Each structure stands twice: as structure tokens, then as C-alpha cells.
Amino acid sequence: MNENIEFLQAFLKNPAKVGSITPSSPELAKRMIAGIEPGPDNVVLELGVGTGAITKHLQAKVPDDKSYLGIELDGRLVRSLRKNFPDMRIERGNATEAVAIHAGSGLGKVGNIICCLPFVSLPNEVGEQILLEVDKFMQRGCTFRTFQYAHGYYFPSAIKLREFMRDRYGKSKRSSLIVKNVPPAYTLTWSTL
């Protein structure tokens, strides 16, 4: 199935959890994975894989099946992802349980988190639980990257995420505005490595 149609279907089924009507553009995907060198001791954890718009760019950088773990909530998307990315480890699950899912995978240390979750439309308590999970990885030394849409940059939940991260890991590295994405977005990166 065409990726855009599949994504739109997922959005129509659950708009708050998907949070966007189109997958990330190649320009945003490339910025999300810039500088990341996955390996068995530097596992990339992708939260909210969707249709794999970022995963397909990351794939070329992933050396083996021990260097990447994707977590996606929507079972239909997971089935399709497993078909499209047979060499990538993708678990159906909730990012609120990311630490347990990673521990159950038997994979090595997570060195990079690529977070594509729509914090702006997720319930507050879900967003908070996910950030606490992220914090556990960050305490072991990790880089966290997410994107925020320009139009939602000053929404309370977007500000809350930035404050949570800034209070613990300092000021983010923010990209220039990526205009070739619908809607335009910034990437934000924090690191404890």
C-alpha cells in the first residue's frame, strides 16, 4: 500500500496518537538521523515508527539486527513495517514501557533515541510517563532527538517537553526550520554522552 495512504488511514483511526496527516519528509528524516552511527553497543531506539518514513533512511546506516529497535503502538502499522523492513527489529508496544521492551529484546546499550511521538496530542500523563522512560536511558548516557512542528512550538505540551529536558540535560541543539516538511518542523537534540 502507498505509504501516504497507509499513514492517513492510521491518522483517521486515531488522530491524537498519530498526530500528523503525513509521514515525515525525506528532509526531516535525514536531519533526524544526522550524525547517528548505530552499532550493537550504540543501539538506535525509534519511538513511534509509523510507516517507517525515518526508518527507511536509517536502514542504510544500521549494520545488523542488533543495532536498532523500533517501538510502535499501532498493530496494523507494525505488521506492515515488519514486511517492509524484515531486517529491522520492530516491537509492537507502548513507549511508556520502552525500558522493559528494550530489556526484553536482549539488545545492547541504547545510545540514541529518535522520538517521533506526537506529545502535543497525547494525554499529559502519557507524555510524562514517556519522558520518565527517556530519562532512564539518558542517565546511562544517550542522545535524544525529537522534532516539533513550528505551529505547535509554543503549545503547553511542547514547552513542557523542552523544560523537562532542559532542566536535566541543559539547552537543546535546535536545527534551523525544516521547511520541506508538512508542517515545517525543528529537530531538538539533547545528549548525556
Ligand X SMILES: C[S@@+](CC[C@H](N)C(=O)[O-])C[C@H]1O[C@@H](n2cnc3c(N)ncnc32)[C@H](O)[C@@H]1O
Residues within the interface to ligand X (CB under 6 A): 10, 17-20, 23-24, 47-50, 53-54, 71-74, 77, 94-96, 116-118, 126
Partners of 148 in beta bridges: 186
The residue (of 10 and 43) whose beta carbon lies closer to ligand X is 10
Minimum CB distance to ligand X smaller for 170 or for 177: 177
Kindly tell me which of 100 and 170 has the beta carbon lying closer to ligand X: 100
| Residue nearer to ligand X on the CB measure, 118 or 170 | 118
Cα separation of 40 and 42, whole Å?
A: 6
- Shortest Cβ 70–ligand X spacing (Å): 9
Closest CA to 145 of 126, 173, 171: 173
- In whole angstroms, the minimum distance from the beta carbon of 72 to ligand X comes to 5
Please work out, in degrees rounded to the nearest 5, the angle formed at the alpha carbon of residue 71 by the alpha carbons of 26 and 170.
75
Strand partners, 191: 143
CA dihedral 63, 69, 74, 76 (to 10 degrees): 40
Smallest distance, ligand X to C-beta of residue 14, A:
7
Residue nearest to ligand X (CB): 50
Shortest distance in whole angstroms from residue 170 CB to ligand X: 25
Closest distance to ligand X from the beta carbon of 73 (Å): 4
| 4/25 Cα distance (integer angstroms) | 11
Q: In terms of residues, how long is the chain?
A: 193
In the bound state with ligand X, the residue whose beta carbon lies nearer, of 44 and 53, is: 53
Cα(24)–Cα(49) distance, rounded to whole angstroms? 10
